[in-house]
Amino acid sequence: MKTGAKIAGAAIVLALLSWTGIVLYWHLTIRSAITYFDDHASDVPRPWDPLADTPAFVTIRGAGCRGLPYLIRAIEESNSPEYQRGLSMLVFFEATKATSAEAEANLQQVTLLAADDEPAETKKKVDAIRAWWSRHGHLYHQWWRVWSSRCGS
């Protein structure tokens, strides 16, 4: 009985350490990619850009829904409309991968930032993206599902 309990306890500890390691890995990896984009704001690739082969872009694409909270936060914290526009396109591209009808319907509330938006319009759209994420983010990303890049499915 004691041996079984020790094995079960060790398995639980190992599972928790593995999960924590995955969380830390993705946190550091995604933050690094966002920092790269921030340092190279004019290089933020568009999701359909065939030249989008930077390691940072590959990281964000590979992170899938895990990157959404980081992208939303970076949009909110930035003062560069071009950078915000590029990130909003990445958010939209990742969010469209959700397969639930509810997620798809809520995504229609999001208006992408445009290059010719006035500063007031940009602020309004950023606020709308923030509100959309606050209300509906759980449909696209569940923080505890770190093992899957498709956690809104």
Q: Is residue 145 part of a domain?
A: no
SS (H, E, C) the chain: CHHHHHHHHHHHHHHHHHHHHHHHHHHHHHHHHHHHHHHCHHHCCCCCCCCCCCHHHHHHHHHHHHHHHHHHHHHHHCCCHHHHHHHHHHHHHHHCCCCCHHHHHHHCCCCCCCCCCCHHHHHHHHHHHHHHHHHHHHHCCCCCCCCCCCCCC
Give the pLDDT confidence of 125-149 residue by residue, as tens digits. Answer: 999 889 988 888 888 777 777 766 6
Q: Is residue 43 part of a domain?
A: yes
Residue 25, pLDDT score = 93
The domain in which residue 65 lies consists of: 2-139
The number of domains in the chain is: 1
Give the pLDDT confidence of 20-50 residue by residue, as tens digits. Answer: 998 899 999 999 999 888 887 666 666 556 4
pTM of the model: 0.81
Q: Is residue 150 part of a domain?
A: no
Statement: residue 93 has pLDDT above 60 = yes
Comparing CA positions, the residue from 140, 112, 115 lying closest to residue 126 is: 112
Cβ atoms 74, 37 nearer than 8 A? yes
